[in-house]
Amino acid sequence: MDITDNRIIELFTSRSKEAVSALSKKYEKLCKSISYNILRNKEDAEECVNDTYLKVWDSIPPAKPDNLMAYVCRIARNISLDKLRYNLRSKRNGNTDALLSELSECIPSTDNVEESADDTLKNAITDFLDGLSDRDRNIFIRRYFFCDDVKSISKKLGVTETNVTTILNRTRNNLKKYLSDNGIAV
Q: Which helix (H) or strand (E) holds 83?
A: helix 68-87
Alpha carbons 156 and 158: distance in angstroms, whole number: 6
Helix axes 68-87, 18-39, angle to 10 degrees: 50
Chain segment 127-141, per-residue pLDDT in tens? 899 999 999 999 998
Residues 6+ apart with CB under 8 A from 79: 35, 48, 51, 52, 55
Q: Which residue has the higher pLDDT, 85 or 80?
A: 80
Average pLDDT for 53-57 = 96
Q: What CATH number belongs to 5-87?
A: 1.10.1740.10
Average pLDDT for 93-119 = 55
Boundaries of every domain in the chain:
5-87, 94-181
Q: Is there a contact between 105 and 172 (Cβ–Cβ < 8 Å)?
A: yes
Average pLDDT for 143-150 = 84
Q: What CATH number belongs to 94-181?
A: 1.10.10.10
Confidence of residue 108 (pLDDT cuts 50, 70, 90): low
Q: Is there a contact between 62 and 97 (Cβ–Cβ < 8 Å)?
A: no
DSSP 177: H
Alpha carbons 4 and 126: distance in angstroms, whole number: 26
